[in-house]
Amino acid sequence: MTATVTAPARRRGPSKKAALPWLFLAPGLLLALVFKFLPMGKGIWLSFFKVRPFLGDKWVGLDNYTRVLSDHRFQDAIGHTLVLGVGISLGAILVGFLLALLLEGQARSLKIMRTAVFLPVVTATAVVGELWRLMYYPTSDGLVNSALGFLGIGPVPFLDNPDTALWATMAMGIWMAAPYNMVIILAGLAGVDRSLYEAAAMDGVSLWQRLRYITLPAIRPALGVVLTLAAIRGLRVFTEVYVLTGGGPAGSTDVWMTRAYTLGFSRNDLGGASAASVVLLCVTLLLTVTVNYFRKRGDVR
Amino acid sequence: MGDRRRRRRLAAALAAAGLAFGTAACGSGSGGAGSGDPNTLEVWTRSDPDSAATYDRVFAAFTKKTGIKIDYQPVVNFDQQLQARASTKDLPDVMINDTALMGSYQSQGLLKPIEPDSIAGHDQISAKSWSSTVGLDGKHYGIPYSRQAMTLMIRKDWLKKLGLTAPTTWQQMLDVAKAFAGRDPDGDGRKDTYGIVAPGSAMNGYAAWWGAGFLWQGGAQIIEPDGKGRYRPSMDSAAAVRTVTWMKDNLFCGARGVLQPGAVSAVTGTATNFQDGNAGMYMTGPYNITSFDTMLGKKTYEVVPAPAGPAGSDVLAEGENVYFGARTGKTHQERELAAFLVSAEGQKIGMTSVDGHQPVVRIPTNSTLDAAKVRGDARWSVVQKAYETASEQFPNAPDFAPIKQDTADSLNALFTYCGSDVRSGLKELNETLAGDLKDQDLLK
């Protein structure tokens, strides 16, 4: 008898508890549904059509995908996207790590420095692009070229030479992304047991050994987060390229997203642009899952 | 019990807040203020805040005259926003945008056909202007609102200092450009001046937009009509090869300083060397006159016709049309607005600059008006003459957007790689253009 009375009460208790977080999440989920998942679903749907809103969309099956994947400009863009995505991600992790090591600590001056270094993250990409364009100005009046002039080099046409434009864009991307990684790695560094450093100092180990055997293992979770974010963001690089070079010159900095943008908004081919975006979504998903798999495997080991 | 009620109230409040936020955000896209009101027209123009101020005056005068209200939206990234609105099948009632986009809009079914006779004052618009609004099916899809043609803006003071005159041929232009770059026309003792400003990036098709005048002046065409409603690509012609080779060898890969630094990656927004005062020539539209007057000073530069190439001096003519969005039910009000916009009164308001704001009508499409007289500025007669006697437009009936973009991609690549083979590059472009025309079922 007792059991029959208590059982429903137990069932009702957890269900109420379980519902409350969902209620708090509801507004966010609703917004995500309206502004993220529905447009994403619409995008996937449109990728199978020749889009003509007022004349009726025409079903073309996988034609848009075939067209996009066989277009040599998209094929070139894949290469640029990979170089830029991997370069910015790894460069930003390395620079972020170095910045975190340099700026770790509680001193007031360090706080000011950290804030200053973090500024690129909160500055609009369009503004950053304009600043870097001025810095890269291809005559000796440009900031970078005037510095190179002191060394007897240049002036270098950073953004106007197809051999240098991609690397120049990568440098700006690293400059923008590194401080974000720095903050995550700083949080990881804060959790490192100081007594390990003291013990290492007493044992007389080198700086490299300290990094290799104490710091890096300790910040592995933070690096995992940074790597996952880099995998998600790396391939969808767009704004940096769009504001700095627009994909030029001669398509030398064209990445997957700038091609998709040109297809959608310069050529009014929304079906093709949707197909290109869906391909990118699939590749990004695959990359994220792969990075997570290796991260978890590393954690278990 | 009380707890449960509180939780329910909390849940209801959260859900309502979420819904309200969601619907408010959705609402901003399609149902602009007053769009349900039959006496209010939602009007979009591709304008920055500066020219929007002039449109505000035009629409205020229209509302005062007719009582029809205008829900005006100046949109900078017009094409993106329009595609977004089109995907919801809810377009603005009236749009004012480029003539060359008419084919693109019509091919997507975004426009309502227009009977010229139904617009009061239609007979004051020239037959030439009306002919530029005919679509592939022979119907009109726009009402001519403003026209313009490119001219050469050139530093008068620099010419005087170096004892030169404004160029009338390509070779003279090249000589002047070299002198501007090499003979210190600003007298500061430094080699920091340049000859010609070129927005040569492929982004948004700029290389084709700026280069079109040179192509025509060299006797080349991008695509040619066959007279029976079809087109053939013609960028593999001998004239095209000659012209692009001349541009590459003399402008982009020629003597140092003939073009401004970074020309191959410049768009109009970043090609500011003329107004910055360090470049001497800029082939551009007259909409820049107001800002050049402010930044450089009216006495510093002059407006002259484009230097002639081997086949003439035709420049790019452009303009804006008034378009009616498909499937909107306010035909009477739309026609009233269009009639006011093309009337002498409406065009005069759009042509005048108040508080230094950009005028939105350049060369009036109303043939009773004279641009130079309305503005009291003789420079506008140079522009009007160029439009009337020595200009060409991009074809407006086909969807020219992909054709312009592919041409720009190709030209930009040829200008960037100075060792490139122009003939094979243009042959490849021609094949791409044939594909574009075939996609539109227009290839001859």
Q: In angstroms, rounded to a whole number, what is the distance separating the alpha carbons of residues B315 and B295?
A: 25
Instruction: Label residue A20 by pLDDT band (50, 70, 90).
Output: confident
Q: In angstroms, rounded to a whole number, what is the distance separating the alpha carbons of residues B8 and B14?
A: 10
Does any CB of chain B come closer than 8 Å to the CB of residue A160? yes
pLDDT digits (tens, 9 = 90+) for B319-363: 999 999 987 788 999 999 999 999 999 999 999 988 888 899 999
The HSE-up count of residue A196 (CA atoms within 13 Å, CB side) is 14
Task: Report the mean per-residue pLDDT for chain B.
Answer: 89
- Report helix, strand or coil for B40: strand
Does any CB of chain B come closer than 8 Å to the CB of residue A210? no
Q: Return the residue of A nearest to B111 by Cα.
A: A54
Q: In angstroms, rounded to a whole number, what is the distance separating the alpha carbons of residues A97 and A92?
A: 8
Instruction: Give the H or E element holding residue B145.
Output: strand B143-149
Residue B42 pairs with which residues in a beta bridge? B71
Q: Are B398 and B437 in contact (CB under 8 A)?
A: yes
> Is the pLDDT reported for residue A4 higher than 50?
no
Instruction: Give the H or E element holding residue B324.
Output: strand B315-324
Q: Classify residue A38 as exposed, middle or buried by CB count within 10 Å of its CB (0-12, 13-18, 19+).
A: exposed
Instruction: Label residue A51 by pLDDT band (50, 70, 90).
Output: confident
Q: In angstroms, rounded to a whole number, what is the distance separating the alpha carbons of residues A220 and A226?
A: 10
The tokens describing A167, both together, are 């690397």
Residue B16 pLDDT: 42
> Which residues have C-beta within 8 Å of that of residue B322, sequence separation ≥ 6?
B94, B95, B96, B142, B143, B145, B337, B338, B341, B342
Cα Rg, chain B, nearest whole Å: 24
Average pLDDT on B92-104 reads 91
pLDDT digits (tens, 9 = 90+) for B122-141: 999 988 889 889 988 889 99
**Lowest mean pLDDT, pick from A19-23, A120-124, B12-16:** B12-16
**What ipTM score was computed for the predicted complex, to two decimals?**
0.81
- Asked whether the beta carbons of residue A160 and residue B264 sit closer than 8 angstroms, the reply is yes
- Asked whether the beta carbons of residue A268 and residue B399 sit closer than 8 angstroms, the reply is yes
Q: Which residues of chain A make contact with B201, given a CB cutoff of 8 A? A: 246, 248-249
User: Cis omega before residue A179 (within 30°)?
Assistant: no
The tokens describing A264, both together, are 């959608």
Of chain A, the percentage scoring pLDDT greater than 90 comes to: 44
- Kindly report the nearest CA distance between residue A47 and chain B, in angstroms: 13
Q: Which residues of chain A make contact with B14, given a CB cutoff of 8 A? A: 23-24, 26-27
Of B29 and B351, the structure prediction assigns the larger pLDDT to: B351
The tokens describing B440, both together, are 């539109």
Q: Which residues of chain B make contact with A267, given a CB cutoff of 8 A? A: 401-402, 405
> Is the pLDDT reported for residue A199 higher than 70?
yes
Residue A58 pairs with which residues in a beta bridge? A50
Instruction: Give the H or E element holding residue A223.
Output: helix A220-234
Candidates A51, A52, A247; nearest CB to B203: A247
Q: Are A26 and B12 in contact (CB under 8 A)?
A: no
Which of A275, A18, A248 has its CA nearest to residue B413?
A: A248
- Asked whether the beta carbons of residue B14 and residue A24 sit closer than 8 angstroms, the reply is yes
Instruction: Label residue A294 by pLDDT band (50, 70, 90).
Output: confident
User: Which residue, among A16, A23, A134, would best test binding to B if mutated, counting the most B CBs under 10 Å from its CB?
Assistant: A23
Q: Return the residue of B nearest to A50 by Cα.
A: B108
Does any CB of chain B come closer than 8 Å to the CB of residue A250? yes
Q: Which residues of chain B make contact with A73, given a CB cutoff of 8 A? A: 409
Tabulate helix, strand, coil % of chain A (nearest 5).
75, 0, 25
Q: What is the four-CA torsion angle of A177, A183, A186, A190, rounded to 10 degrees?
A: -160
> What type of residue sits at position B294?
T
Residues found in chain A: 301
What are the φ/ψ torsions at residue A152 (nearest 5 degrees)? 80, 20
Does any CB of chain B come closer than 8 Å to the CB of residue A62? no
Residue A110 pLDDT: 82
The HSE-up count of residue A94 (CA atoms within 13 Å, CB side) is 9
Q: In angstroms, rounded to a whole number, what is the distance separating the alpha carbons of residues A120 and A226?
A: 17
Does any CB of chain B come closer than 8 Å to the CB of residue A277? no
DSSP secondary structure of B341-382: HHSHHHHHHHH--STTPPPS-SEESBTT--HHHHHT-THHHH
> Is the pLDDT reported for residue B24 higher than 60?
no
The tokens describing B68, both together, are 């029809």
Instruction: Label residue B104 by pLDDT band (50, 70, 90).
Output: confident
Which of B155, B99, B163 has its CA nearest to residue B131?
A: B99
Does any CB of chain B come closer than 8 Å to the CB of residue A249? yes
Q: Return the residue of B nearest to A58 by Cα.
A: B108
Q: Return the residue of A nearest to B20 by Cα.
A: A27
**Lowest mean pLDDT, pick from B3-12, B51-60, B73-82, B242-251:** B3-12
- Asked whether the beta carbons of residue B205 and residue A266 sit closer than 8 angstroms, the reply is yes
Does any CB of chain B come closer than 8 Å to the CB of residue A39? no
Q: In angstroms, rounded to a whole number, what is the distance separating the alpha carbons of residues A219 and B358?
A: 57
pLDDT digits (tens, 9 = 90+) for B61-88: 999 999 999 999 999 888 888 888 887 8
* Chain centroid to CA B185: 32
pLDDT digits (tens, 9 = 90+) for A158-175: 999 999 999 999 999 999
